[in-house]
Amino acid sequence: MSRFPILRRADRILVQGITGTQGSFWTQKMLGIGSNVVGGVNPRRAGETHLNLPVFDTAKTAMRETGFDVAVMFIPPMLAKTAAIDAIESGAKGLVILTEHIPSHDVLEIFAASRAHNTRIVGPNTAGLVTPGETFAGIMPGHNTNIFKPGHIGVISRSGSLGTLICLNLTRAGHGQSSFVGIGGDPMIGTTSLDALRALDEDERTEAIVLVGEIGGAMEEAAAEYAAGMKKPVVSFIAGRAAPPDKRMGHAGAIVSGNAGSYPAKQAALERAGVAVADTPHEIVDLLRVRLAQPACNSS
Amino acid sequence: MNFNEHDAKKAILVPAGIPVLNGRLCHEAAEAAEAVRALGPCAIKAQVPTGKRGKAGGIKLAKTPEEAQQAAETILGMSIGGYEVGAVLAEQAATIRKEYYAAVLHAPSERASLVLFCAEGGMDIEELAEERPQAIRRFLVKDPGHFTMEDALMLTVDLDDDAQEVARILVSLYRRYRETDAELLEINPLARLDDGRVVALDCKFVLDDAASSRQETLCAHAAPAKSTALEREAAAQGLKYIELDGEVGILANGAGLTMTTMDVVSHYGGRPANFMEIGGDAYTKAEPALRVVLTNPKLRSLVVNFCGAFARTDVMAEGVVNAWKKLKPEIPVFFSVHGTGEDEAVALITAELGLTPYDLMEDAVQAAIGTAQ
């Protein structure tokens, strides 16, 4: 578990909201590739089994019964705080919050609780985590072998759909993935680009990293600073270059005000750090091929 | 969600006991004249949810009813920062002895809240942060609900006579920020007047959109968003749509992929006509989404770019096909479809529309640009 946000098959996963339509659908997909799902939570159906898994009233009970490692939440926004704090107080080491549109004051309380209990959070508004061929937690097509293939490229993405496209492009070009870390499209998230980059830098299976960012905030700039000192090659794509200013581009975090969060600022910071920045998603594959052929990297 | 000064003062500050000056909201110039007759000299202030109103000519001092009439006539109907002025606040003029700046806001990189205080108010805080960041005092609240008088006094300690009173206001401001689901609650300036009162002369309040369902009473007072008729229509249907100036229409799923489709359109020399994203739960809304996209008269071609993770491409493709058959648009459409439900989606598009999706989104985009020109 020390690897979180990089998942391993041994990680025992609890699904909060397992009996709902999406919870059921994605739990089946997760089980399909061999994810170690040990149970679910729905207070109204505690004691039943669902998908042959035990359903508990709370994460705390689930922890006593199963000793799970990571909880993944299929919970609507207005109930997310209660569920997240239940998981955190249960002693979960990692928590994946898929929910979008959680009121931000609830998110602040979730983070305060996570600090008090040392729970690492991925999200909110993430599509989840995938270790191809091994396990996944979330709403990514981790079970689709045309898209995800075991390999040595670590992928970090704020977006699920774009991250999926990029993994597909990598797989087709013969580059499997060591791990996909969906960090989420919200401005306030538990695992930042930098946190994910550091985790993949320390991961022995990962040889190179694709960092998929977006306009808004300063996460890519912070990651760039770290990338400058890395030996593993880093290639990046930042979505939102053509976005008009002061508009929220779908994700709550994707907004440019003045110079803060702008594409040029992110591009400059990444290139200064020796990170190759692609103009289109497909160009990532070409840049990666070049960088992998070079000896050692990113030192500026 | 943004609020005009008058609504922010009335709905947020006054209930918290933070004093404001007497004022009247006026939709017509005659009302402003009447306000000055009743209250004496007033500042006539444009009610638009944007900064730099003064610089734009949206705030004028009126000593007589005639001056108020004239000022209101000038200001009403002005456009400031893209907002049309529909009302002015006529607020009793006051002599200011000292101005402060106070705000509470989210600090995303710290995953916490930030209380800001500056002993020099009234100026543009962003400019001050750039030029003399040390002038702005900060207190990071990591534990929600725990910002005490003691904490506030650390920010106001050297204010001599005002320290206690201003600290009390900071504590109230933080409490209100939490109660009202604010992303930002700012008083600039907070002023000590010649008559001894400490009052909020302006107030900026931004409510977290995600909390609107539990703040319905407040939301009713929000300023209308700066948006086009088509954007409002899309928003009413729960769609994330932004109208742009170009010719290449875009329908995609997920914020990241939709932005990227726009980027690729511009990269190859085209101009996006819109942003339309049907990711998340909206993936079942492809049909209404396409209707909105096609309503834009500037459209010359359309790119449909799906990459299904959570969103099922077969469901989205069905929506597109249905809309296409009903509306029979005359513009060419170029698909790229991958991910969850891909095989069914591609089969449907081929069978119903006689089109083969492009393997690479880059190719679909280039084809769309080619026909748009």
How large is the ipTM? Answer: 0.93
Q: Which residue of the set A143, A152, A251, A282 is catalytic?
A: A251
Q: Count how many Cα atoms sit within 13 Å of the Cα of residue B310 in the half-sphere of its side chain.
A: 30
Question: Cβ B259–A250 below 8 Å, yes or no?
Answer: yes
Lowest mean pLDDT among A174-188, A245-259, B236-250: A245-259
Of A139, A192, A218, the CB nearest to B309: A139
Residues B87 and B102 in one domain: no
Within a domain: residue A166? yes
Scan residues 73-102 of B and list those with Cβ closer than 8 Å to A.
none
Question: Cβ B242–A247 below 8 Å, yes or no?
Answer: yes
Residues B102 and B214 in one domain: yes
pLDDT at A295: 65
Within a domain: residue A2? no
Of B183, B260, B307, the CB nearest to A239: B260
Residues B29 and B145 in one domain: no
Residues A281 and A179 in one domain: yes
pLDDT at A289: 94
Residues A230 and A103 in one domain: no
Residues A154 and A284 in one domain: yes
What six digits make up the tokens of B280? 């998340």
Q: Which residue out of B251, B257, B363 would a mutagenesis test of the A interface target, given it has the greatest number of A Cβ atoms within 10 Å? A: B257
End-to-end CA distance of chain A: 33
What six digits make up the tokens of A113? 């609780």
Q: Count how many Cα atoms sit within 13 Å of the Cα of residue A162 in the half-sphere of its side chain.
A: 36
Of A104, A127, A190, the CB nearest to B310: A127
**CB contact at 8 A, B279 and B253:** yes
Could you give the maximum distance between any two Cα atoms of chain A, in Å?
A: 58
Question: Cβ A164–B362 below 8 Å, yes or no?
Answer: no
Confidence class for position A246, pLDDT limits 50, 70, 90: confident
Q: Which of B71, B92, B113 is the last residue of a domain?
A: B92
Of B108, B143, B340, the CB nearest to A112: B143
pLDDT (tens digit per residue) in B73-117: 999 999 998 899 999 999 999 999 999 999 999 999 999 999 999
Give whole-number Cα distances, B351 to A32, A33, B45, B285, B347, in Å.
31, 32, 61, 21, 6
- The candidate with the shortest Cα–Cα distance to B20, out of B29, B8, B31, is B8
pLDDT (tens digit per residue) in A131-151: 999 999 999 999 899 999 999
Q: Which of B54, B77, B92 is the last residue of a domain?
A: B92
Q: Which of A87, A122, A157 is the last residue of a domain?
A: A122
pLDDT at A299: 47
Domain span at A149: 144-293
Separation between Cα atoms, residue A14 and residue A87, nearest integer Å: 9
Scan residues 161-190 of B and list those with Cβ closer than 8 Å to A.
178, 181, 183
Within a domain: residue A138? no
* Residues of chain A neighbouring B109 (CB-CB closer than 8 A): 192, 217-219, 222
* Residues of chain B neighbouring A237 (CB-CB closer than 8 A): 260
Residues B341 and B213 in one domain: no
Question: Cβ B256–A162 below 8 Å, yes or no?
Answer: yes
Q: What is the mean pLDDT of residues A13-17?
A: 98
Residues B285 and B182 in one domain: no
Whether this prediction's pTM lies above 0.90 is answered by: yes
Give whole-number Cα distances, A125 to A139, A187, A249, in Å.
11, 10, 14
pLDDT at A258: 62
Type of residue found at A230: M
Within a domain: residue B145? yes
- The candidate with the shortest Cα–Cα distance to B304, out of B329, B92, A34, B73, is B329
What six digits make up the tokens of A216? 């808004």
CATH of the domain at B108: 3.30.470.20
Residues B187 and B322 in one domain: no
DSSP β-bridge partners for residue B358: B336
Q: Which residue out of A105, A111, A122, A257 would a mutagenesis test of the B interface target, given it has the greatest number of B Cβ atoms within 10 Å? A: A105
Residues A151 and A116 in one domain: no
Within a domain: residue A133? no
User: To the nearest whole angstrom, how far is the Cα of A97 from the nearest Cα of chain B?
Assistant: 14
Q: Which of A75, A92, A122 is the last residue of a domain?
A: A122
Q: Is B127 in the A-facing interface, judged by CB distances under 8 Å?
A: no
pLDDT (tens digit per residue) in B112-170: 999 999 998 777 777 888 888 888 999 999 999 999 999 999 999 888 788 999 999 99
Residues B255 and B343 in one domain: yes
Within a domain: residue B5? no
Within a domain: residue B10? no
Residues B66 and B193 in one domain: no
Separation between Cα atoms, residue B342 and residue B59, nearest integer Å: 57
* Residues of chain A neighbouring B252 (CB-CB closer than 8 A): 161
Q: How many domains does chain A have?
A: 2
Residues A270 and A162 in one domain: yes
The set of residues, in sequence order, having a beta carbon less than 8 Å from that of A288 and lying 6+ positions away, is: A153, A170, A173, A175, A208, A210, A233, A235
Above 70 in pLDDT, residue A259? no
Q: Is B265 in the A-facing interface, judged by CB distances under 8 Å?
A: yes
Q: Which residue out of B214, B218, B258, B363 would a mutagenesis test of the A interface target, given it has the greatest number of A Cβ atoms within 10 Å? A: B258
Q: What is the mean pLDDT of residues B20-44?
A: 97
Q: Is B255 in the A-facing interface, judged by CB distances under 8 Å?
A: yes
Within a domain: residue B203? yes
Q: What is the mean pLDDT of residues B187-211?
A: 95
Within a domain: residue B259? yes
User: To the nearest whole angstrom, how far is the Cα of A235 from the nearest Cα of chain B?
Assistant: 16
DSSP β-bridge partners for residue B61: B43
Is A251 marked active-site?
Answer: yes
Confidence class for position B310, pLDDT limits 50, 70, 90: confident
Residues A189 and A233 in one domain: yes
Q: What is the mean pLDDT of residues A167-172?
A: 96
Within a domain: residue A244? yes
CATH of the domain at B31: 3.30.1490.20
Question: Cβ B142–A280 below 8 Å, yes or no?
Answer: no
Separation between Cα atoms, residue B349 and residue B329, nearest integer Å: 15
Residues A29 and A118 in one domain: yes
pLDDT at A37: 98
Within a domain: residue A298? no
What six digits make up the tokens of A73? 């939440």
Q: Is B154 in the A-facing interface, judged by CB distances under 8 Å?
A: no
Domain span at B316: 229-372
CATH of the domain at B242: 3.40.50.261
Residues A263 and A164 in one domain: yes
CATH of the domain at A33: 3.40.50.720
Residues B49 and B155 in one domain: no
pLDDT (tens digit per residue) in A196-222: 999 999 999 999 999 999 999 899 999
Q: Which of B158, B189, B219 is the last residue of a domain?
A: B219
Q: How many domains does chain B have?
A: 3
Residues B67 and B39 in one domain: yes
Residues A266 and A190 in one domain: yes
Residues B88 and B100 in one domain: no
Within a domain: residue A58? yes
Within a domain: residue B276? yes
Within a domain: residue A93? yes
User: To the nearest whole angstrom, how far is the Cα of B110 from the nearest Cα of chain A?
Assistant: 8
Confidence class for position B373, pLDDT limits 50, 70, 90: confident
CATH of the domain at A217: 3.40.50.261
Of B111, B126, B210, the CB nearest to A102: B210
Residue A4: other Cβ atoms inside 10 A: 23
The set of residues, in sequence order, having a beta carbon less than 8 Å from that of A207 and lying 6+ positions away, is: A152, A153, A178, A232, A233, A292
Residues B117 and B52 in one domain: no
Within a domain: residue B159? yes
Of B112, B309, B338, the CB nearest to A108: B112
Question: Cβ B362–A280 below 8 Å, yes or no?
Answer: yes
Residues A110 and A153 in one domain: no
Separation between Cα atoms, residue B254 and residue B260, nearest integer Å: 10
Question: Cβ B259–A141 below 8 Å, yes or no?
Answer: no
Q: Helix, strand or coil for residue A3?
A: coil
* Residues of chain A neighbouring B210 (CB-CB closer than 8 A): 77, 101-104, 252
Question: Cβ A242–B272 below 8 Å, yes or no?
Answer: yes
User: To the nearest whole angstrom, how far is the Cα of B308 from the nearest Cα of chain A?
Assistant: 6
DSSP string, A202-268: S-TT--EEEEEEESSSSHHHHHHHHHTT-SS-EEEEEE-TTPPTT---SSTT---BTTBT-HHHHHH
Residues A218 and A84 in one domain: no
pLDDT (tens digit per residue) in A29-76: 999 999 999 999 999 999 999 999 999 999 999 999 999 999 999 999
Residues A223 and A108 in one domain: no
